[in-house]
Amino acid sequence: MSGADVFDAWQLLIGISHVANAVRPQRSASKTIPFTLISGFLGSGKTTLLKSILEAPFAQRIAVLVNDFGAINIDAALIRERTASTIELSNGCACCSLAAGLTNTLTDLLASPRPPEAIIMEASGIAEPVGILHVALAHSELFLNGVITVVDAENIEMQASDPRLKSTIERQIKAADIVILNKADLVGPSGIEVARRRIRQISSEARILDCVYANISPQVLLGIELGLAGANTSAETAQEAPHSAFKTWTVTSERPFNDRRLCEFAGSLPVSTLRAKGFVRLARDPPRWHLLQVVGRRWSLAPEDCDIVQEGPSEIVFIGLPTDAEIEAVTTRLRACEASLPPLNYGT
C-alpha cells in the first residue's frame, strides 16, 4: 500500500456522515466563519505559532483548537478562565481541546451563544489534512481560509528523504497554501535555498515564507485583517501590516469582470502573492457583488447575499512579498480579466 490508506477515506465518509446526522437537519447556515488548518511535524514550531496566534491582539474572537493544552504554554496573565476543555483569554480568544473529537468540538462551538468569528485548528502530525478539512467543512458555517504547514528548515532534508517520514511530510506540504519555513536562522541562506528547492519539488505552487521562532505576523498569515467588514476598510487596514516585509496593494476596476478569466487569474497568481480578497462585479451577474478570495493557490468566488447594495468599483486587495515588477504584472493581468476584452483560450 502506498501512502494513502483505506482508513483515510473511510474516516472521511464516516466523519461527514456524522456531521450530516448531527448538524444538518437543524440549520442551513451560510459560510461566514473562516477555518484555517495548521499542520506540521512535531518540533517544527507549530505550537509556537499557535501560541502567538492566541496571544495576538485580534479584533475578532478566535477559537484555536488544539490536541493538547499542556503543550501550549500560554502567558498566565492572559488567561481569564480555564475549564477542562477550554482556556479563555482576556483578548477574547479561546483555546479549545479537541479531546471530544473534531465534530463534537465544532458542533458545540458553533452552537454556543457567542460562536467564534474565526477558527484555527491544529492538525495532528500524522493526520491526513485533506480528510480533516472535509469533515470540518461539512459544518456549513465554515469556509476554508487556508492550510498552513510549518516546516523545520533544519530537518526537512532528512524528513523528506526518510522513507518512513516522506509520505507524511509530502502530504502536509501538498495540502498547504502557505508553507512556513521555520528556524531559518539555524541553516543560513544556502540551507534555506536547499529547503525551498525541496519544498518546490513537492509542491510547485506553495507559498514559502521563512522565519525564526515561527515569528510571522498572525494577522498577515491568517488574512484576518483583510477581513472585509465593509469593503471600504480594507485599504487602510492593509497599510498597518505589522510585518514590514509584506506588501499590500489594491486594484480597483470600474468594469465588471469575466468570471472564467477572473478564476483563471486567481488560480495562477505568482507564488509571491499570499492572499487576495475583494468584492467584484461580474459581467454574468452584474447586479450582485461577488466575493473573491485567494489564499495561496486556492481561490473562491461566490455571490455575496448582503442586503446593503453598495455602489462603487470592484476592489481587490493583495498581500505578499512580490517585487515591484510582479505587482505590475498582476495588476495588468487583472485588468485583462475585465469583461469587454476577448476571451482567453481554454487550457492555457
Partner 1 sequence: MQREAARDPAVTVFLAKRVITMDPGRPHADAVAVKDGRILSVGSLTTMKPWLDRLDHVIDETFADKFVLPGFIDPHTHFSMSGAFLGLHYVGPIESPGPNGMNPALTSRSAVMSHLRALHEGMSDRDRPLFAWGFDPAIQGGQLDRDELDLISRERPVWIISYAPHFVYTNSAMIERLGATEDLSIHGVGRYADGRLNGQFVEVAAVQYALSPFLDDVMRPDRNEEALRMLGQTAKKAGITTTADMAFGFTNFDKEWLEYKKVVRSEDFPLRMVLVPLESAIYKAHGDDSARFVSSLEALSDEKLRFHGIKFINDGSYPAMSLRVKFPGYLDGGNGLRGDVPWDELADRMFPYWENRIQIHAHANGDETIDAVLDTLASLQSKKPRFDHRYTIEHYCISTTDQARRLKALGGAASVNNYFVHYRGQIHSNQGFGPDRSEATARLGSLEREGVIFALHSDFSLVVVPLHPLTAVWVAVNRIAADGETVLAPGERIGLERAMRAITIDAAYVLGLDSELGSLEVGKIADFTIVDKDPFETNVLAIRDIPIWGTVLSGVKQPA
2 binds partner 1 (CB under 8 A): yes
Selected binder of partner 1 within 200, 243, 255, 298 (CB under 8 A): 298
Instruction: Single out the residue of 38, 49, 62, 98 in contact with partner 1 (rule: CB under 8 A).
Output: 98
If the CB atoms of residues 97 and 215 are measured against partner 1, the closer one turns out to be: 97
> 94 or 192, CB closer to partner 1?
94
18 binds partner 1 (CB under 8 A): yes
Cell of 73: 504554554
**Count of residues that bind partner 1 according to CB under 8 A:** 63
195, 156 Cβ separation under 8 angstroms: yes
Q: How far apart are CA 44 and CA 155, in angstroms?
A: 9
Q: How far is the CB of 14 from partner 1 (least distance, A)?
A: 5
Tell which one of 109, 138, 176, 184 touches partner 1 (CB under 8 A).
138
**Closer CB to partner 1, residue 59 or residue 283?**
283
Regarding 4 and contact with partner 1 (CB under 8 A), the answer is: yes
Measured CA to CA in angstroms, residue 65 lies from 53, 136, 288 at distances of: 12, 12, 35
What's 282's DSSP letter? B
Grid cell 533544519 in the structure block, residue: 154
Please provide residue 241's backbone torsions phi and psi, each rounded to the nearest 5 degrees. Answer: -45, 115
- Residue from 34, 131, 191, 218 binding partner 1 (CB under 8 A): 131
Site for partner 1 in 202-241 (CB under 8 A): none
The vertex-118 CA angle with 146 and 202, nearest 5°, equals: 15
- CA 256/CA 288 separation, integer angstroms: 11
Cα separation, 53 vs 36, in Å, equals 12
Instruction: Name the nearest CA neighbour of 120 among 138, 101, 100, 98.
Output: 98
Which residues contribute to the site for partner 1 (CB under 8 A)? 1-14, 16-18, 20-22, 24-25, 41-43, 67-68, 84-85, 97-101, 104, 124-128, 130-131, 133-134, 137-138, 144, 164-165, 168, 259-260, 263, 266-267, 284, 298-302, 346-347
